[in-house]
A and B are shown apart, each in its own frame.
Chain A
Amino acid sequence: MLRTRSSQAVAVALAGLLLAGCASVDDRSRAAGDVAVRLLTAVADRDGESACSLLAPDTAAEVADTGDMPCAQAVLDEQLPGPGTVTGADVYGQWAQVRLTDDTVFLAAFPGGWRVVAAGCTPRPNRPYDCVLQGS
């Protein structure tokens, strides 16, 4: 009897962990998608401050370096597509890829949540995506 109860408890715990894992991945995918859309929306709305606050530090620094002006101004000159809608997302560990109707965005996990590492990305056969905006 004791063994049966223990087995049931273990099965319930494992099922709970599995469900929690799936829910966690879904939540993280949704959160990554939100950040990607917010970035592209901010650029479309000419809100450079908000856009740069959603970039990973290295990416924000690269945007400023390349444009030779503050990130909030430089990011508005980048030829990023409009926000569109999220068509899919993959999350693996500290990284996420969000696919939108007109863009693919790569994000990394930071203490404050997902931050965009690269955006405006187009695929190249057997090579990394070519991105309008990315860290060094």
Chain B
Amino acid sequence: MKRFLRENSLGLVFGLLFLVVLVGQAVAGHADFNRMQLSEGLPEVSLGRYLTSASFGTDVAENWQSEYLQFFLYTFLTVWLLQKGSPESKSLDEAGLESDRDQKVGAFATDDSPPWARARGWRLHLFSNSLGIVMGLIFVGSWAAQSVAGVAAYNEEQLGDLQDPVSWAQYVREPDFWNRTLQNWQSELLAVASIAILAIYLRQRGSPQSKPVGAAHTATGIEG
């Protein structure tokens, strides 16, 4: 058990932190929602009602979609894009899909390679891109969820302002949808650019996100 916890501590700790922070968001969001209700002369709603509201749904989904977009883009674009001196980049001579030998697929698969790495055709192609594909699908699903919850939350505000509600097709052309979307995208893209560039010159001893402390600033594709 102790060994299991140690060997899976990264996933477990982040999973636990996610749940704690999600609960925190729910509590803070509920309090904020009720503050607005009272300011409009309306009754407070229960936590259960808030958790099933479009307001909570869109607040959660809009952050999820941007995080998964970030990892989807990072996973795919780092196949071809390089950053000299960064541990986030491959070596400068490795841009692209690399050879079957380097990737241990097909005839070069080893005994402990996953079965679909030994396969040919669509299974190998699918498995070779499975990480990016799943990240991309979760991004698309979260973004769609944001738009559906977003139109309901937007329409709740519209009615509260004594204005007509809009359809989903109208909402995805509204500034509210794109403001919520783009403000999340810009922060994720800034974070990626920052880690790729700052890691050229800065170090975090022991972290795989950093080069070894003594590595040269020009060394590329080395993880500490």
Give residues in A with beta carbon < 8 Å to B: 56-58, 90, 92-97, 106, 108-111, 117-118, 121, 123, 127-129, 131, 134-135
**Do the beta carbons of B45 and A94 come within 8 Å of each other?**
yes
B204 within 8 A of A: no
List chain B residues, Cβ under 8 A from A134: 162
B162 touches A94 (CB 8 A): no
Total CB contacts across the A-B interface at under 8 A = 56
Q: Are B155 and A94 in contact (CB under 8 A)?
A: no
Chain B 147-168 per-residue mask, 1 if CB under 8 angstroms from chain A, else 0:
0000011011011111111000
Residues of B close to A57: CB separation below 8 A? 41
* A interface majority secondary structure: strand
Tell whether, in the assembled complex, residue A135 and residue B156 are in contact, meaning their CB atoms are under 8 Å apart: no
B residues sitting closer than 8 Å to A (CB atoms) are 37, 40-43, 45, 53-55, 152-153, 155-156, 158-165
Complex formed: what's the CA distance from A111 to B45 in Å?
9
**What's the least CB distance linking B166 to chain A, in Å?**
10
Which residue of A58, A97, A118 contacts B165 across the interface (Cβ within 8 Å)? A97
Residues of chain B within 8 A (CB-CB) of A127 are 163
CA distance A116 to B53 in the complex (A): 21
* Among A128, A131, A135, contact of B41 (Cβ-Cβ < 8 Å): A135
With A93-B156, A95-B159, A96-B159 given, name 19 new contacts (CB 8 A).
Answer: A56-B42, A90-B165, A92-B54, A92-B155, A92-B159, A92-B165, A93-B54, A95-B155, A95-B160, A97-B159, A97-B164, A97-B165, A106-B159, A108-B40, A109-B42, A111-B43, A121-B162, A128-B161, A135-B41
Task: Tell me the smallest distance from the CB of A62 to a CB of chain B, in Å.
Answer: 10
